[in-house]
Amino acid sequence: MEDEISSFFESSPPQKNMEEILENLNEFIKLNSSSQGGRRIVCVTSGGTTVPLEQRCVRYIDNFSSGNRGAASTENFVKAGYAVIFLYRRGTCQPYCRSLPDDPFLECFEFSDKTNIQGSYSHLEAVKMAVMDQQTAVAEGSLLKLPFSTIYEYLQMLRLIAEALKDVGPCSMFYLAAAVSDFYVPWKSMTEHKIESGSGPLDIRLAQVPKMLSVLRSNWAPKAFCISFKLETDSKILMEKATKALRKYKVHAVVANELSTRKEEVVVVSSSGNVVVRRECDKPESFVEDNLIRLIVDRHSTYIKESHN
């Protein structure tokens, strides 16, 4: 497995702007581990990874995820006093923007005359809150956003963040809500140019993406609190798969969710049993992440206490 993982990274196309990313990351971690005796830091991953089919990519395979879970969870972690490294898929839902319309530029503004642009009345409150909350989070050093698109970028960034957080130990957390491809085309066996059409069906062989969760737990950040997610469309196999993942990857909890009900309920699977977490249906402004993050933060507190004993 270790060999597979090293060869995945060795053959990956190098991450662009690596030095700049590392500098921002280290500065963010330093600021937060030295502020008021040290803030807890969580890396929230969000959105789906793409698998390019060509090196000069025209076509790719995608993994479903709107990024809503990651964005909502990030807001809740910031509210709970955490510093959040938000590792997100470009173009997916962003923290503090969930109540804005899909096309905010076109729908939230209007011209009073040809030279004056102003917020449209119906969205004014939502725009004000989004801008203020995001600016406050960034200004207070509670939010660092790092984008990815491909599986190569995602895994390289995840490793970078994990290694950078190593010294934060039990006060760091990984909350892995991104939908990560299980299969990919290895860079070296990928055609450089656009795959030609017109000569019948296309056969592509996908290799299995090496499972990075085990190495994240054992090598990259062994002391960090680690929450992974299990997504299934068949509810009959969900709990069994989540329990298996808990044992196999030795994470602290697995959040099990079914695609069609993911916004209503999730099950937190851990060695202390299974807990069903629901959205409060009688409150229209409630999200499953509000209760989920409360529970996870609680579990993290216990973990930190136990690590110090």
Please give the residue ranges that form the binding site for ligand 9Z3 (CB under 6 A). Answer: 65-69, 176-177, 179-180, 228-231, 257, 262
Residue 146 in tokens: 């790092």
| Nearest residue (CB) to ligand 9Z3, 192 versus 234 | 234
| Nearest residue (CB) to ligand 9Z3, 150 versus 228 | 228
| Nearest residue (CB) to ligand 9Z3, 29 versus 288 | 288
Burial profile 211-245: b = 16 or more Cβ within 10 angstroms, e = fewer? bbbbbbbeebbebbbbbbbbbbeeeeebbebbbeb
Which residues make Cβ contacts (< 8 Å) with residue 185, sequence separation at least 6? 51, 52, 53, 204, 205, 206, 207
Distance CA 302, CA 222 (A): 17
- Closest Cα partner for 76 from 296, 255, 309? 296
Hunting for tokens 């062989």 — which residue is that?
Answer: 205
- What H or E segment, with its residue span, contains residue 62? strand 60-62
| Nearest residue (CB) to ligand 9Z3, 33 versus 65 | 65
- Return the number of other C-beta atoms located less than 10 Å from residue 295's C-beta: 16
| Nearest residue (CB) to ligand 9Z3, 85 versus 292 | 292
Residue 80 CB-density burial (10 A; 0-12 exposed, 13-18 middle, 19+ buried):
middle
Q: In whole angstroms, how close is the CB of 86 to ligand 9Z3 at the nearest point?
A: 13
> Collapsing DSSP states into helix, strand and coil, what is residue 56?
coil
191 DSSP 8-state letter: B
54 DSSP 8-state letter: B
| Nearest residue (CB) to ligand 9Z3, 134 versus 257 | 257
Do β-strands 172-176 and 60-62 pair in parallel, antiparallel, or remain unpaired? unpaired
Q: In whole angstroms, how close is the CB of 255 to ligand 9Z3 at the nearest point?
A: 7
| Nearest residue (CB) to ligand 9Z3, 41 versus 177 | 177
| Nearest residue (CB) to ligand 9Z3, 148 versus 229 | 229
Looking at the DSSP assignment, which residues form a beta bridge with residue 145? Answer: 86
Q: In whole angstroms, how close is the CB of 269 to ligand 9Z3 at the nearest point?
A: 12
Distance CA 250, CA 253 (A): 8
